[in-house]
Amino acid sequence: MAHWMNLGQQFKVNAKRHADKPALKDQGRSFTYAETNRRVNRLAHGLMGLGLFKGDKVAVFMDNCIEIIELYLATAKTGIIIVPINFRLVGPEVEYIVNNADAKAMVVQDQFTGVIDPIKTNLANIPAHHYVVVGEEADGYNAYETFIAGNPDDEPDAAVAPADTWILMYTSGTTGKPKGVIRSHESHIAFYLINGLDMGFNDHDYCLNVMPLCHINSTFYTFLFLYLGGSVYVHPALAFRAPEVLRIVEAERITFISLIPTHYNLILNVDEKDRRRDVGSIRKLLCSSAPVRRKMKREIIDFFPNAELYEGYGSTEAGSVTVLKPEDQMTKTGSIGRELLGTDFIKILDDRGNAVPTGEVGEIYSCGPTLFDEYYKLPEKTAASFKGDWFSAGDMGMRDENGYYYIVDRKDNMIITGGENVYPSEVEEAVGSHECVFDCACIGLPDEKWGEKIVAVVTLKEGIDGSSVSEADIQACCRERLAGYKRPKEVIFIKNDEMPRTTTGKILHRKLKDRYENSN
């Protein structure tokens, strides 16, 4: 039966169609399509040489680099499932994901071996010789280049179907434990084709990859260009510096970047020398993960004079749901746009599952071709997130009379800080582990740099003198348990009777948020 080719299969074709064209480039290297395809095939044979085959999982703990893209491509060709882990996580967080995913091998970037080494003995399913390191050699790891060298560079013999799982991507959950999101090849193929057409991309485009490749955004908006036959410049997410990004845009003649509002804010505040960089090659920009204020939109449009600005809405589970197009940026400020081309898969429902009238608020449900399959090992969580075939990420929104959608609130009080999704319950658990803390609520407050900053509102146990517990004490407690982006940027101490609660004792996060937003 004929079907669309996945990324790995299409890359094989592109290696013939665009053999001598640059596919991947970084600060010191450049590989053509033909060269990349040979490296990917050697990597695929190396993974299979470890005894990994279709359906087995390989975890990757890496910042953006050419090698992580090669891993995505190799798994797409073999049917092996890739498990990308956020490189900002600390040891216990990584350990939970690797074990929950049943990963049988792991590829680690050299700068992160210090996170992995202490937990190796707890990673039950990974044999000692199944660790690979990218970069400097390290004891207990196979060196990446040695690992792929000498392997055949012919195409791996594997039957991979569109409906097969490609990515198991973990996202934070309201319980504090991340959930594994099962994503198929066909959900990504649908994105590449729909967005390629809807946003007007082609094989002449040159993408600068800045967003972390452990996030859904990059597996969409980076690999789209490799699917179409364009080029990708890979830049480490941890090394984001606005002047350097602008230098790359000018030197490489980049045509597309996907960024979050925090990135744009940094770019808009560079000094005069960097403002004079020639960024005229940029023809399209994407902003996602958080709303963009009208003033910033105007500044972005002025800074990139030849670019069209798009905003996208979606989630790890739903994939891509809506897009706000360039012509609507100034007239529909605050909107997440309308359905993507070829789709009509959005409902706004009340608590009983009934559609709400235009202009009224309800929960946003979607059912599009980029939707995930299910949560890994969590059938009850999967069922609770769906009404029939319709999925909700928990966002509350409305639809106006012209068919444009708006996010009104996040049902579970999720905080978006620097483009990262953080659920208060996870932070509250860490803060609450301090021996003096009685209760805690974490909220997101507006922040110029991060979009939202995490603020912990803390009450102390009876008899504890407030002067004996400091913000630094709470921060130190969190440092051992949470990745840096999840830690509170501010701690506010209040009395127990000042904590707003329901009659059943549940803390009212919204009232706290309103209180401190209004006091700033």
Rounded Cα gap, residues 232 and 208, in angstroms: 6
What is the token pair recorded at 289?
């993960």
Q: What is the pLDDT of residues 182-206, one digit of tens each?
A: 999 999 999 999 999 999 999 999 9
Under the banding of pLDDT at 50, 70 and 90, the label for residue 517 is: confident
Q: Specify the CATH architecture of the domain 415-519.
A: 2-Layer Sandwich (3.30)
Of residues 476 and 504, more confidence is placed in: 476
Question: What span, in angstroms and rounded, lies between the C-alpha atoms of 454 and 415?
Answer: 7
Phi, psi torsion values for 280, nearest 5 degrees: -70, -15
Q: What proportion of the chain, given as a percentage, has pLDDT over 70? A: 96
pLDDT at 419: 85
Distance CA(318)–CA(323), nearest Å, equals: 14
Q: Which of 265-274, 444-453, 474-483, 507-516 has the lowest mean pLDDT?
A: 507-516
What's the pLDDT band for 174 if we cut at 50, 70, 90? very low
The pLDDT value recorded for residue 175 is 47
Instruction: Quote the CA–CA distance of 226 and 220 in Å, as a whole number.
Output: 10
Cross-strand pairs, 143: 133
- Tell me what pLDDT residue 409 has: 62
Rounded to the nearest 10 degrees, what angle do helices 242-252 and 261-268 cross at? Answer: 90
What's the pLDDT tens digit per position in 101-122? 999 999 999 999 999 999 999 9
pLDDT greater than 80 at residue 291: no
- What integer is the mean pLDDT of 23-50? 98
Q: Which CATH architecture has domain 33-160?
A: 3-Layer(aba) Sandwich (3.40)
In tens, the pLDDT along 410-441 reads: 666 778 888 887 878 788 888 988 888 888 88
- Chain mean pLDDT for the chain: 92
Burial class (CB in 10 A: 0-12, 13-18, 19+), 390: middle
Q: What is the pLDDT of residue 505?
A: 53
Identical fold, 33-160 and 415-519:
no
Torsion angle, alpha carbons of 204, 60, 418, 397, to 10: 80
Residue 519 has pLDDT above 80, yes or no: no
Q: How far is CA 233 from the centre of its chain?
A: 18
170-187 per-residue burial string, b: 16 or more CB within 10 A, e: under 16: bbbbbeebbbbbbbbbbb
- pLDDT higher for 351 or 283? 283
Of the pLDDT bands very low, low, confident and very high (cuts 50, 70, 90), residue 85 is: very high
Hey, where are the domains in the chain? Answer: 33-160, 415-519
